[in-house]
Amino acid sequence: MLRNFARTTERLRDTGGAKWAIHQRCRERQQAGADIIELTIGEPDIPTDSALIEVAARAMRDGRTGYSNGRGEPDLIDALVERYRRRRTTINDNNVLCFPGTQTALFATMLGLTGEGDGVLVGDPFYATYEGVIRASGAHPVSVPLRKNNNFRLCAGDLERAITPDCRVLLLNAPHNPSGAILDNGTIHAISVLCEKYDLWMVCDEVYEELVFEGRFCSPFDNEAFADRVIALSSISKSCAAPGFRSGWAIGPADFCDAILPLSEAMLFGNQPFIADMTAYALRNPPSTAMRMRADYQRRSLIIANALDEIEGITPFRPEAGMFILADVTGLGLSGERFAWSLLEAGVAVMPGSSFGDNGDDLIRLSLTKSDEEINDACHRIKRFVEERL
């Protein structure tokens, strides 16, 4: 029987789990007993702080398990206002929307800002789910090349050359996944000026804000001059090592929040009050989690970079933030996809750069969320694989 589905399903047909095929195969083989070091996804390797767990548990015991409202629990909204007022003094509760995770916030934001035929500018390579959240509304990604010789930092000149008349949004991910690149204030200002010139929204995915190794985090959100076009998205998933709790938010102009609220209510009608209580506590009492992860991930990135530097044909790119490192494998005469699948047979699972856009075809991405011992073992396996099989 022929079935008809909505056009959205067609738009998203090739944007989902297929990008994670190697990760899924790795898990299947591990369950069957295979010895594979998993360097695919960015799941923090330290537990959620016990104080946060206790806050959530106490809130559940106290009956905080009922319905919420579409905008967010009042105490969490207050905590977010306190946090973002340190960056921009004009923030109020009407600038806040709470969501179950950054992914949901991003989906609702894109659905609220774009429609059929609209263009969304995005640095390429980009996080694997971006294509799906862009295409869901009928919009399409407009690739802005992130160049290896600029360490994958977005360049204002490349951005302006990519802008087409149908573009409505710049989706800016900084610190960047998959490269770990950060942007300085000068670049941020130049990008913001272009967005004002071409009347573009700036949607800023800032989930790695607290995982900058050195230097400082910079964002268009912090400049009041561009406040009417900037939306900042984040969550506790990375900073608090709490991805399973699904607690995120969007901070933007009041008219944006008012316009998006009915969409959020249609999707979710609020997130869980006991998780909101935990999130508010985390925002006011930041655990040491992010500091520990920064130190771990920077150290492990150096372990990998130094090891891969010694392998002829592989060029690593040292990240400045986040929980991943990219490496170029074109010197081996292979695409990132072919190399990653072959490496899986040698007991190391990495992500092919093709999962992160057309500009990643010759790259692989390695996660930093395993122990130093496992990271060292993976590097030895990669070196042995290249020397013996290629």
CB burial of residue 67 (10 Å; 0-12, 13-18, 19+):
exposed
> Could you tell me which of 303, 273, 290 has the C-alpha nearest to residue 370?
303
In tens, the pLDDT along 36-45 reads 999 999 889 9
In tens, the pLDDT along 142-167 reads 999 999 999 999 999 999 999 999 99
pLDDT, average across residues 20-48: 94
pLDDT for the residue 320: 98
Measured distance CA(180)–CA(171) in Å, rounded? 16
Which residues are within 8 A (CB) of 256 and not within 5 positions of it... i.e. 6 or more apart?
A: 112, 231
Q: Are 60 and 371 in contact (CB under 8 A)?
A: no
Measured distance CA(126)–CA(176) in Å, rounded? 8
In tens, the pLDDT along 317-357 reads 999 999 999 999 999 999 999 999 999 999 999 999 999 99
- Which amino acid, one-letter code, is at 6? A
Q: What is the CATH number of domain 50-284?
A: 3.40.640.10
Whether residue 1 is predicted with pLDDT greater than 70 in this model: the reply is no
Whether residue 15 is predicted with pLDDT greater than 80 in this model: the reply is no
DSSP 87-132: T-TT--GGGEEEESSHHHHHHHHHHHH--TT-EEEEEES--TTHHH
In tens, the pLDDT along 172-215 reads 999 999 999 999 999 999 999 999 999 999 999 999 999 999 98
Element (H, E) at 85: helix 74-85
Whether residue 274 is predicted with pLDDT greater than 80 in this model: the reply is yes
pLDDT, average across residues 361-383: 97
DSSP 180-238: -----HHHHHHHHHHHHHTT-EEEEE-TTGGGBSSS----GGG-GGGGGGEEEEEESTT
pTM, to two decimals: 0.95
> Could you tell me which of 196, 193, 261, 198 has the C-alpha nearest to residue 229?
196
Measured distance CA(228)–CA(209) in Å, rounded? 21
Tokens of 194: 């272009």
Task: Map residue 358 onto helix, strand or coil.
Answer: helix
Tell me the residue length of the chain: 390
Tokens 């492990």 belong to residue: 300
Measured distance CA(177)–CA(155) in Å, rounded? 16
pLDDT for the residue 187: 97
pLDDT, average across residues 36-61: 96
Whether residue 19 is predicted with pLDDT greater than 90 in this model: the reply is no
Measured distance CA(77)–CA(39) in Å, rounded? 36
Whether residue 280 is predicted with pLDDT greater than 70 in this model: the reply is yes
CB burial of residue 12 (10 Å; 0-12, 13-18, 19+):
middle
Torsion sign (Cα): 251, 254, 260, 266: positive
Which residues are within 8 A (CB) of 162 and not within 5 positions of it... i.e. 6 or more apart?
A: 121, 142, 143, 144, 145
Other CB atoms within 10 Å distance of the CB of residue 38: 19
Same fold, 7-47+289-389 and 50-284: no
Could you please state the CATH topology (level 3) that the domain comprising 7-47+289-389 is classified under. Answer: Aspartate Aminotransferase, domain 1 (3.90.1150)
Cross-strand partners of 352: 364
Torsion sign (Cα): 31, 36, 40, 46: positive
Residue 4 banded pLDDT, cuts 50, 70, 90: confident
Residue 299 banded pLDDT, cuts 50, 70, 90: very high
Q: How far is CA 219 from CA 68, 99, 108, 236, in A?
A: 31, 21, 21, 18
Residue 6 banded pLDDT, cuts 50, 70, 90: confident
Residue 16 banded pLDDT, cuts 50, 70, 90: low
Cross-strand partners of 133: none
